[in-house]
Structures are given as structure tokens and as C-alpha cells.
Amino acid sequence: MSSGELAEEIGVDPTQVRRDVAALGYVGKAGVGYSVDDMIAILEQALGLTNTTEAVLVGAGHLGTAICRYPGFSSYGLRIVAAFDTDESKIGTSIGEVKVFPLSELGHIVRRLGVKMGIITAPASSAQGIADLLVESGIKAIWNFAPISLRVPDDVMVRDEDMAAGLAILSRFLAHGRKTKDSDGVCQAGQ
Amino acid sequence: MSSGELAEEIGVDPTQVRRDVAALGYVGKAGVGYSVDDMIAILEQALGLTNTTEAVLVGAGHLGTAICRYPGFSSYGLRIVAAFDTDESKIGTSIGEVKVFPLSELGHIVRRLGVKMGIITAPASSAQGIADLLVESGIKAIWNFAPISLRVPDDVMVRDEDMAAGLAILSRFLAHGRKTKDSDGVCQAGQ
DNA sequence: TAGATTGTTAATCGATTAACAATC
DNA sequence: TAGATTGTTAATCGATTAACAATC
């Protein structure tokens, strides 16, 4: 497969493809292109999809439940090993395969299992406290679904899946009828 | 509030703040700064949060249910007016305030209500078909939760809330221990 | 007035793209 | 060999930042 075909497919410049592929250390064949199999292997490797990532989830509400049950993640190497909540009625129950534990057990369990990823599906009001708790327990990557910017140490990565931001960008488009580059930055400033 | 304070708060350069604020047409007072109230008003205006956006949701599974019930959206001006699914057992039921209709009714209802935003929470395999249907019915903004790149006309905006992409970036960080700029582009190429 | 902070111009930085010799 | 496609250098483009006169 050639850089031109790939570029066409994803709507970018062919040079961009060649550049990125080269940056990953994969060398194609001049006059021929790239091997699809090699390409897949290289990308999986680069994205860290080859190893299974274990994660804990905090906040067993609707969103947490949806994520625990989402069938796609296992094929991307994610395994949720425990869920936490403060709601007495949820503790002890299971969401699919995932057991729900009291939040007070979090530090204990995370440290014991050596889990490095935490997923926050709790309300915004308790998200920062949960993040602190996760970081303190040794978590290095946080997937944050709460609509709030979390403060964490530099060596911890946060990925915001901030739905309100996504919604704001779409709303803006509908209201003003144009797509902007700055939307993201402006939105953060607004929080 | 000064550009310096705002910049400090969100971790960017003060000039950036001044530039963006000016770009929105809001003029601050030299030597004083910006009025917080004016700032909020300007941002809400710019982001289109002042008008309520009506949306339809397709795919009344776990994720769709979580979104319909998510309490935060109403304060951001989103109102989901109808949900659609092909599952006979779901049709006719309600998720909170939202009624579930058969997918065959989508064009009819969307056109009738003049809704401009569609939310896709269906499996990846049916997402493109749903997108086509939404576009055909007059939808101009699609909020896509299915892990697939949708093809739509230029005048339709798609916002991908692609969880697999978010997961890949975090996995990559855990596996390789560094944050990258290119992750997004590379990830698209991998799909 | 003196201090602070703006809006904007000019300089820097990085990312994207065009062009092309090297290679299969 | 001839055609195609690579990796990379140089040129372009846009975004970020530093600097500062204008202003409250």
C-alpha cells in the first residue's frame, strides 16, 4: 500500500504519511510502498495495543456501567479489573464481570494489583478527590469522563473525554455555522 | 481578571489569552483586565451555549442510555428529543424523558421537528448507515461515539468521541512512558 | 501621576507541504 | 530498463511568544 493511497483514505497529505511512518522507524520499499501486515504490527506496537492494560473504574453510575460493559475495549487491550463507588447499594454487586468495591478499598486494591490506569466516571464535584486518591495509589494514566480539568503531577497523564467540550464545539457550529480552530482553547478558558 | 491570571490558571501564555479574547470581539480595559461577567457572557455566546440545541440519539444501548440520562447536558443547552433503535424490545419504552422510536421513523421525525444534531451511540458496524440516514434527514452536526471514521458531506460537522483513540493514547503512554504530539494522526492512520 | 494591563506588531518556533534524487 | 514510490531537504505556512507603545 502506498503513502498516496493511505493519504487519500484518511484525507491528509501523502508526505505526512511518509513522515509519520518513518518517524515510527518503519522503512517502506521505494517504488512499492508499505506492507499492510507490517503496518498494522508497527502501529499496534507504537500505540501500545500489544500489551493488555489493566484499569480500575471509579463511579459505577450509568456511564461507568456502559464502559464496563462496552464490548469493544477488550479487543483494544483494556481490562477493567475493579470498579469503585461510595453508594452502599452498589457495593458488592457486579457489572458484567466487574465487581464493585467501596471507594475506601481503592488504595489497597490498586497497590496490590499494581494497576496503572484509572477511569473516572464520577460526578465533576468528586473527580479531583478521586484523581488525588488514584495518583496517591500509584496510578500513572487517568481517563477522565468528568467535565472538569484535573490537576495531577507531571508524570501522570490525563486524557479528558470531556463530553461538554465536544457538545460546545458542535453547538457552536450549529449556532454560527462555521468550524473554528480555536474552539478547544477557548472552551478550556471558559471552565 | 487579567490575562496573566487566566493564563496561569489554564497553563498557557498570557498573550494567547489576550489574542483569543480579542478574536471574540471582546475588548478588555488596559491596566485593569477583563470583567468576569462579561467574559462568561462572551464565551457562552461564542460557543453557542446560549441557545438550546435539540438532538436525536440513535442506539439506545448502555452508552445511549447513559447519555440520555446524563444530568449535565441540560445545563449546556442540550435536549435530546427522541431516541431510535432497531431492537423491538426497546421501541416504545422511555429512557428518562426520552421515548425510543423505531429507526424507520427517524427521517420522518427529524424532518418534522427540524432537529439539526444527531448523536450516534450504535455499534461501529451500523454507524455509517445511520450517519447517511441522519444527513439525508437534514442533520448538520453529528456527535459520533462509534469507533469509526464517518464519511459525510463538507457542510456537516462530525465530532468523534472515539473512546478507542483515547484508550490507545493512554495505553501508549503506559507502554512507552512518554507523551507524543503525533498520537492522534497516527491513530487515525491505524483505523 | 505611577503602576498595571491591554491590543498588536515583529520575531520565533514548529508543523505541513512541495520537490526531487535515491531506490526498488 | 522504465515506472512508481520512497525518505528527506528546502520552502511555505500558520501558530505561539516576546516586546512595547497606548491606555486606563
pLDDT digit string, tens, across residues A75-91:
788 999 999 999 999 99
pLDDT at A47 over 80: yes
CA-wise closest residue to A117 among A61, A74, A63, A78 = A78
Task: Scan residues 87-146 of A and list those with Cβ closer than 8 Å to B.
Answer: 116-117, 124, 140-141, 143
B92-99's contacts with Cβ under 8 Å and 24+ in sequence apart are B95/B60, B95/B64, B95/B65, B95/B68, B95/B69, B96/B68, B96/B69, B98/B57, B98/B68
| Residue A191: predicted pLDDT | 27
Residues of chain B with pLDDT under 50: 180-191
| Segment B76-97, tens digit of pLDDT | 889 999 999 999 999 999 999 9
Runs of H (alpha helix) within B97-180: 106-113, 124-136, 163-176
Label residue A48 by pLDDT band (50, 70, 90). confident
Q: Name residues 18-47 of chain B with a Cβ under 7 Å from nucleic strand C.
A: 18-19, 21-22, 26-34
pLDDT at A109 > cutoff 90: yes
φ/ψ of residue A67, rounded to 5: -70, -40
Q: Is B33 left (phi over 0), alpha (psi -120 to 50) or beta?
A: left
pLDDT for A21 equals 95
Q: Do A170 and B143 touch (CB under 8 A)?
A: yes
- Rounded to an integer, what distance in angstroms lies between the CA atom of residue A83 and that of residue A91? 9
- Quick check: A174 CB within 7 A of strand C? no
Q: Given the C-alpha cell 469507533, which residue does it identify?
A: B147
Residue B2's nearest nucleotide, by CA–C1', is C5
Q: What is the mean pLDDT of residues A49-59?
A: 90
Enter the pTM of the model: 0.79
In angstroms, rounded to a whole number, what is the distance separating the alpha carbons of residues A171 and A160?
A: 19
Across the interface, whether the CB atoms of B47 and A20 are under 8 A apart is answered no
Cα separation, B46 vs A28, in Å, equals 46
Question: What order of strands is seen across the sheet that includes strand A141-144?
Answer: A94-95, A98-102, A78-85, A53-58, A117-120, A141-144, A157-160
Nearest-CA distance B105 → chain A (Å):
23
Answer yes or no: do A47 and B187 touch at CB < 8 A: yes
CA distance A172 to chain B (A): 4
Give A36 to chain B, closest Cα distance, Å: 10
Determine, for residues A72 and B24 on separate chains, whether the beta-carbon distance falls below 8 Å: no
Q: Which residue of B has its CA nearest to A125?
A: B72
Q: Which of B12, B62, B172 sits opposite A65 (nearest CB)?
A: B62
**In the prediction, which pLDDT does A76 show?**
81
C-alpha cell recorded at residue A190: 471558559
Backbone angles phi, psi at B63, to 5 degrees: -65, -45
Give the Cα separation of A93 and A81 in Å (integer). Answer: 14
- In chain A, which residues have their Cβ closer than 8 Å to the Cβ of B73? 163-164, 167
DSSP B51-104: SPEEEEEE--SHHHHHHHH-TTGGGGTEEEEEEEES-TTTTT-EETTEEEEEGG
Q: Does A18 touch chain B (CB under 8 A)?
A: no
For residue A185, name the pLDDT band (cuts at 50, 70, 90).
very low
Q: Are A188 and B43 in contact (CB under 8 A)?
A: no
Alpha carbons A46 and A58: distance in angstroms, whole number: 28
d(CA B17, CA B14): 5
Separation of alpha carbons A3 and A95, rounded Å: 44
pLDDT band at A178 (very low <50, low <70, confident <90, very high): low
Task: Give the distance from CA B54 to its chain's centroid.
Answer: 13
Q: Span A93-110, mean pLDDT?
A: 96
Q: Taking residues A34-43, report their average pLDDT.
A: 95
Sheet holding B53-58, edge to edge: B94-95, B98-102, B78-85, B53-58, B117-120, B141-144, B157-160
Q: What residues 33-62 of chain B have any CB closer than 8 A to a CB of chain A?
A: 40, 43-44, 46-51, 53, 61-62
CA(B135)–C1'(D18) in Å?
Answer: 47
How far does the CA of B150 sit from the C1' of C16, in Å? 24
pLDDT on residue B179: 56
* Site from A37, A54, A163, A178 to mutate, B interface, most B CB atoms within 10 angstroms: A163
Q: Using the CB atom, is residue A8 less than 7 Å from strand C? A: no
Closest residue, CA to C1' of D23: B30
